[in-house]
Amino acid sequence: MLRPSPNRIIVKLGTRVLTSDDGCIAMDRLTSLIAQMADWAGRGCEVLLVSSGAVGLGRDTLGLPPGPSDLSTRQACAAIGQGRLMGIYEQKFGHHGLVCAQVLLTQSDFDDEQRYSNLSSTLNTLLRHRVIPIINENDVVATEELVYTDSVAAAPPKGPPFRRHGVSFGDNDQLAAILAAKLDADLLILLTDVDGVYDKNPFKHPDAQRIQTWAVSTKVDAQQDPGAGRGGMKSKIRSACHAAQAGCTTVIASGRLDGAIHRVLSDQSTGTWFPAAGHLSPNQQWMLHTARVGGAMYLKPDQIECLQKPQTSLLADSVAKIAGSFQAGEVIEIRALDETPLGRGTASCAADTARAWTGSHALQALPVGPVVLVRWDKLVLGNNQ
């Protein structure tokens, strides 16, 4: 499933790993985890760290209790906590002769393919110099919704502008998965406070069973309590599937166990493993997991199966309706009329043009020959929400 000595790993530390039950930083645990990462870096492995914890450290500094708070308070806590968090990492990694670099990201860093590519180049340069990138969402300036929950059908075709959605990385799970795919990591380790994925919530059901290897057919009740973090198990499963789909083996395991990282890298019975299931192109990764979505195209029921054929473009006469106000070149969702997501693609034309070529007046508006709304090589099918 994974070669014994991976060349590049990404470790994601969640809030519940970095803090103890009272909400304070778990310094002994963090020191141990850093030592383990340093050990693998010393063996020639390239290590990236996606770390939560800035908001929690800020709360602790201000004497605020853990738990939900308004946006401005969370941003203020992040502004205070980021410096403290980096200070800890610089000191602890420095003890092992390693330099670390802070990388703060927002959704806008992923919206444009060129910026997305530049980020990859910067991270690769840091790794070549044996620097440990410490990556986090920039909570100080991020103001967007952090979870992709709203339906793209919220705005009717001729109603208010379609609300532009981005893939969530507010809980850092999806951010780690995006980076694992973009950087061709061999292994993504999502560390949390439970020792893997269970068939039901282990905090509420004593008879819950841990799943050792995830399969496409695996079904679980993933409604876990997100606690001090913003993700929960549902986010981790989604992120692990995304990374595996892009060719990166992923494991969800407990970061509270002694030697957690060593355990994962030496014993594949630890945690829940998501075997690499394929390798998407960089453009497909960007469309599915990173780019903002500007709108949606809804397929006619009898056209869904037809679109599955190889090298088949999405044509105007296959579309029942258009949602949104996207421009040519923007990413849109492909959906069934019942809102089932079918995939994503890059629009060949603007929404108003696409709308004129579909619907009740399409026969009058269509030019001679088929009208391509999404070209086949700009289309990725599959339920990737």
* Backbone φ and ψ of 341, nearest 5°: -70, 135
Residues 158-167: pLDDT tens digits?
Answer: 333 444 444 4
Is the pLDDT score of 50 beyond 60?
yes
Q: Give the pLDDT mean for 232-256.
A: 89
Architecture of domain 8-284: 3-Layer(aba) Sandwich (3.40)
Please state, in angstroms and rounded to a whole number, the distance separating the CA atoms of residues 211 and 272: 6
pLDDT at 55: 85
pLDDT tens-digit series, residues 22-46: 777 899 999 999 999 999 999 999 9
pTM, to two decimals: 0.75
- Concatenating the DSSP letter of every residue in 70-97 gives -HHHHHHHHHHHHHHHHHHHHHHHHTTT
Q: In a 3-state reduction of DSSP, which class is residue 252?
A: strand
All residues at 6 or more sequence positions from 63 whose CB lies less than 8 Å from its CB, including other chains: none
pLDDT band at 252 (very low <50, low <70, confident <90, very high): very high
State pLDDT tens for residues 80-98: 989 999 999 999 999 999 9
At the second CATH level, the architecture of 293-381 is: Roll (2.30)
Q: Are 342 and 383 in contact (CB under 8 A)?
A: yes
pLDDT band at 226 (very low <50, low <70, confident <90, very high): very low
Mean pLDDT (whole number) for 317-340: 91
What pLDDT, on the 0 to 100 scale, is given for residue 140?
67
Q: Which of 290, 334, 292 is nearest to 313 (CA)?
A: 334
What are the extents of the domains in the chain?
8-284, 293-381
CB neighbours of residue 163 within 10 Å = 15
Answer whether 240's CB lies under 8 Å from 10's CB: no
Tokens of 352: 């108003």
H or E element, residue 50: strand 46-51
Contact call for residues 115 and 176 (beta carbons, < 8 A): no
Run of H or E residues at 30: helix 27-42
User: Residue 185 corresponds to which tokens in the numbers above?
Assistant: 């990591």
Pairwise pLDDT comparison (368 vs 226), residue with the higher score: 368
Contact 45, 6 (CB under 8 A): yes
- Quick one: which of 345, 332, 340 has its CA closest to 376? 345
Residues whose CB falls within 8 Å of the CB of residue 262, separated by 6 or more in sequence, listed in order: 36, 39
Whole-angstrom distance, CA of residue 49 vs CA of residue 125: 15
